[in-house]
């Protein structure tokens, strides 16, 4: 028998440091997909090489270079934060290696290399429906509080653009990404007395935010909590307590999404991770592997430009709902759901109550 050829996938994630939760979600999702679908595609064995970048962009770039040169990977994947994806993009272009962004969400990322395809989301895509909802539901004055880097600035701009056009008033605050102390910002919010506080923090930081939110008595302030769904991500939501009840967010994934695909995904993910609930990062990893598998089936195992071309226009039913890859932008097109935090079967969930179907990244759609 001939030796079976392998297709190597280098998965680079923050698996140590402050953003470990993001990396673990993506890795669990990717491994779960492989466990369910076997490790052979188009007659080739899929070899997953998992590397930790600690959430540091220089390490991501160095690791990607080693994976390209030493391991000769066919695909780069992962990218837990925007700066990590942007630092690696030129290497994907140079080496003509497809780069599947499974987590990061700044709109411009897919423009940084023609070899990038994304299975997560963009912040403007998730945020514009939030501004629409707020404007139509009696909210007139909003303070935005966002992490001061790519995705936070995207969220702030997307919200402000749509909300002010609808006649709303916005005051903007930005908090450092690393070790954020929300207290001084929450004091400013208390003074401004907006109808709603719009928050973007990356997955995992919602817990710290919510702790300081309740310490300052915001749960009794009448100021509504809104934002893209990162702040109430499914992994940390249930430990936030009743303070989170009633928060309205817009996002592409909820563990409570009512579909047979999602029910079996949530169950299998929990089984694979000591009971951890999947969040939107977990589904990004799972769908990223799906895209790699289906792309390789179409190219009969070939990588490079052929693989990227095969991924363009691909559509499937994700645990999040119907999705496709925009052939022009290589970004994911997906439903955005309006959700409210409620207690369901004793646990806190983002319960979806409205759907905006097939949303493209609005920044690129406007170009």
Minimum CB–partner distance for residue 95 and ligand DHB (Å): 23
Instruction: Give the residue from 10, 134, 16, 25 showing the smallest Cα distance to 67.
Output: 10
Q: Residue 101 or 266: which CB sits closer to ligand DHB?
A: 101
CA 210 to chain centre: 20
The length of the chain, given as a count of residues = 367
Minimum CB–partner distance for residue 337 and ligand DHB (Å): 15
Minimum CB–partner distance for residue 178 and ligand DHB (Å): 12
Question: Distance between CA atoms of 32 and 313, rounded to whole angstroms?
Answer: 24
Structural contact between residues 333 and 324, judged by C-beta atoms closer than 8 angstroms = yes
- Binding footprint of ligand DHB on the chain (CB under 6 A): 81-82, 104-106, 150-151, 202-203, 230
Alpha-carbon distances, residue 158 vs 100, 120, 128, 134 (angstroms):
24, 17, 6, 13
**146: part of which helix (H) or strand (E)?**
strand 141-147
Q: Residue 151 or 295: which CB sits closer to ligand DHB?
A: 151
259: which residues sit within 8 A by CB, 6+ positions away? 317, 319, 321
Minimum CB–partner distance for residue 44 and ligand DHB (Å): 31
HEC assignment per residue over 307-360: HHHHHCCCEEEECCEEEEECCCCCCEEEEEEEEEEEEECCEEEEEEEEEEEEEC
Q: Residue 194 or 206: which CB sits closer to ligand DHB?
A: 206
Question: Distance between CA atoms of 216 and 51, rounded to whole angstroms?
Answer: 40
**9: part of which helix (H) or strand (E)?**
strand 6-13
Structural contact between residues 202 and 177, judged by C-beta atoms closer than 8 angstroms = yes
149: which residues sit within 8 A by CB, 6+ positions away? 82, 83, 177
Q: Residue 105 or 301: which CB sits closer to ligand DHB?
A: 105
Q: Residue 89 or 310: which CB sits closer to ligand DHB?
A: 89
Alpha-carbon distances, residue 161 vs 167, 177, 262, 362 (angstroms):
10, 23, 33, 12
Structural contact between residues 111 and 136, judged by C-beta atoms closer than 8 angstroms = no
Q: Residue 230 or 326: which CB sits closer to ligand DHB?
A: 230
Minimum CB–partner distance for residue 363 and ligand DHB (Å): 14
Minimum CB–partner distance for residue 364 and ligand DHB (Å): 16
Minimum CB–partner distance for residue 295 and ligand DHB (Å): 23
Minimum CB–partner distance for residue 151 and ligand DHB (Å): 4
Q: Residue 203 or 311: which CB sits closer to ligand DHB?
A: 203
Q: Residue 10 or 150: which CB sits closer to ligand DHB?
A: 150
Q: Residue 203 or 341: which CB sits closer to ligand DHB?
A: 203
Minimum CB–partner distance for residue 40 and ligand DHB (Å): 32
């Amino acid at each position: 028998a001939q030796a079976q050829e392998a297709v190597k996938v280098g998965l680079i994630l923050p698996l140590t440091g402050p953003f470990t939760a993001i990396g673990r979600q993506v890795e669990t999702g990717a491994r779960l997909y492989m466990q369910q679908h076997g490790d052979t595609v188009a007659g080739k064995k899929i070899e997953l090489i998992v590397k930790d970048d600690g959430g540091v962009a220089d390490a991501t770039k160095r690791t990607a270079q080693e994976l390209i040169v030493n391991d000769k990977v066919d695909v780069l994947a992962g990218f837990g934060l925007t700066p990590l994806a942007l630092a690696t993009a030129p290497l994907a272009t140079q080496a003509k290696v497809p780069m599947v962004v499974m987590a990061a969400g700044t709109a411009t990322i897919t423009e940084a290399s023609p070899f990038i395809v994304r299975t997560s989301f963009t912040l403007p895509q998730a945020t514009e429906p939030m501004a629409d909802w707020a404007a139509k539901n009696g909210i007139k004055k909003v303070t935005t509080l966002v992490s001061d880097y790519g995705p936070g600035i995207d969220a702030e701009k997307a919200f402000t653009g749509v909300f002010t056009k609808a006649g709303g008033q916005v005051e903007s605050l930005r908090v450092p990404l690393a070790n954020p102390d929300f207290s001084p910002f929450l004091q400013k919010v208390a003074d401004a007395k907006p109808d709603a506080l719009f928050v973007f923090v990356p997955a995992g930081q919602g817990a710290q935010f919510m702790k300081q939110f309740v310490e300052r008595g915001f749960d009794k302030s009448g100021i509504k909590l809104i934002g893209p769904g990162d702040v109430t991500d499914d992994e940390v939501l249930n430990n936030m307590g009743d303070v989170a009840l009633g928060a309205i967010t817009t996002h592409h994934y909820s563990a409570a999404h009512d579909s047979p695909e999602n029910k079996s995904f949530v169950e299998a993910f929990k089984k694979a991770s000591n009971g951890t609930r999947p969040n939107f990062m977990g589904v990004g990893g799972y769908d990223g592997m799906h895209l790699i598998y289906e792309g390789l089936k179409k190219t009969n195992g070939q990588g490079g430009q052929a693989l990227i071309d095969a991924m363009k226009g691909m559509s499937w039913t994700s645990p999040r709902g119907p999705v496709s890859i925009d052939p022009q932008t290589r970004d994911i097109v997906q439903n955005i759901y309006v959700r409210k935090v409620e207690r369901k079967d004793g646990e806190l969930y983002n319960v979806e109550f409205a759907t905006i179907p097939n949303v493209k990244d609005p920044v690129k759609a406007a170009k």
